[in-house]
Amino acid sequence: MAARDGFQPCALDTGAATPMPRWERNLVVAALIVHVVDVGLDLLVVLLFLAHMQWGFFFGTAGVILWAWLVSSLYISFGGGSPAPGDIDDGGVADRLPQFFLNFVQVQIFAEAYRCVFHNGDTDYFHTLRLMEAILESAPNSLVQLYALIVWAGTGDAPEGAGPLLRLSVFASFVSVGLGLAMWEQKVQFRTSSMYVAAVAVMRAFEIASRALTLAIFAGLTHPYGFWWALLIDYGVMLFLIVRHQSVQFTYGLFVALPLVLVSLEPLVWRREDHAVPKDSYYMVRILEFVLMWVLIIHKQDTVDAKVDSSAVWLGCEALALISTLGLYVTLPFVWRIARRHELSRDVADWGEDDANKGLHGHGWNSDSDLSSSGSDRMQDDQDGELPPE
């Protein structure tokens, strides 16, 4: 079996691999464009903070970027994305170091996108890189940049172009997070539909927008310490829920609780017991925090109105926070209903388990041409022996 040829559903009449659906190719291209735009805008924002000596925001944004690139590069080169030591395909450190540097300078994702689109390759690497960029860079930088937009860009000390640049970068981050999490939702299933992936992307974009905007407004009103206290307390709450649910090991929970402060990670189609923090508990905490923060925001609205230089920015962020929260809780029940109808295990062992071969189809959400080619390497293994059930 070729190491990087990927997996595709069998065409039973010919025995050949089914080509990647057109919508999935378009999704890869769109995700690559979003990735480039988001990373490029983040770098421009770093230069903006550096040029105007906003050292706190500079080190915050630059640190998030370096952290995200380092973690994704280590994963692809030395972790889950690399052959196990001793495998015939393992070339040792000599082969892994170039891969590490190529990924660190954002070359690897172009290679993976090219392989997906033009060679019908496995999209697992591309999906993973996009997911890690979304949760490790886009999500935290959207919060940092919104914080800067509220407490700095709306004042007279900021240059004229700071506000539009920050707004554009934050919007790109919201799109990046929504698309990255939706593509992970697609990756864990053998078959899914373009409509479902699009619905998850919209819902996830609303989710990160609601969370980041509300946190940024709260942090602006409680500047300079409210930002850190809010994140620290929420991290503790997430860690408590992880320990109570006992779905993952505590050491892994320490790491996964970090991105959970901003957005729920796991695909919605996973069973409740497979989540680090179950979705019902997670969103109940988010509703409670939203109410508590907005009680404080409304209570201090006179303080916002008194800040003439930045009142328009504050009011705009408040309106968008309310709209995105409404959008989240309007779209969530529909996506949740479809996900529960096709619930699957995090560790599907075979084609018969949890109806993994059925995917998200039927009920008007897709057609035969919409079916995704995503799945796992077990599809390729099955081609050597018994065909998966249909």
Mean pLDDT, to the nearest integer, of 233-238? 97
pLDDT for the residue 88:
46
- Summary mean pLDDT of the chain: 82
Evaluate whether 171 touches 205 at the Cβ level (below 8 Å).
no
Per-residue pLDDT band for 363 (boundaries 50, 70, 90) equals very low
pLDDT given at position 188: 87
Residues 201 and 31 sit within 8 Å (Cβ to Cβ): no
Position 318 pLDDT exceeds 90: yes
pLDDT tens sequence across 40-50: 999 999 999 99
Helix axes 93-104, 108-118, angle to 10 degrees: 90
The whole-number pLDDT of residue 23 equals: 87
User: Whose structure tokens read 């479809």?
Assistant: 338
Cβ neighbours around 337 below 10 Å, total: 10
Q: Is 362 left (phi over 0), alpha (psi -120 to 50) or beta?
A: left
pLDDT band with cut points at 50, 70 and 90 for residue 10: very low
DSSP 19: P
List, in order, residues 6 or more apart from 31 with CB less than 8 Å away: 113, 126, 130, 179, 180, 183
Burial of 147 (0-12, 13-18, 19+ CB in 10 A): buried
Lowest mean per-residue pLDDT among 21-30, 83-92, 191-200: 83-92
| Maximum C-alpha span of the chain | 72
CA distances from 157 to 150, 170, 309, 373 (A): 12, 21, 10, 51
Residue 100 — very low, low, confident or very high, per pLDDT cuts 50/70/90?
A: confident
pTM of the model: 0.82
What is the C-alpha to C-alpha distance for residues 122 and 5, in angstroms, rounded to an integer? Answer: 6
| pLDDT the model gives residue 49 | 97
Question: Residue for token digits 């249909």?
Answer: 390
Predicted confidence at residue 287, as pLDDT, reads: 96
Per-residue model confidence (pLDDT) at position 348: 54
* Contact of 137 with 42, CB cutoff 8 Å: yes
Average confidence (pLDDT) over 75-104: 65
**Residue 67 and residue 317: Cα distance in Å, rounded?**
27
Q: What is the pLDDT of residue 285?
A: 97
The per-residue pLDDT for range 278-292, each reduced to its tens digit, is: 999 999 999 999 999
Helices 279-299 and 194-221 meet at what angle, rounded to 10? 40
What average pLDDT does range 236-258 have in this prediction? 94
Q: Residue 354 has what pLDDT?
A: 42
pLDDT of 222 over the 80 cut: yes
pLDDT band at 134 (very low <50, low <70, confident <90, very high): very high
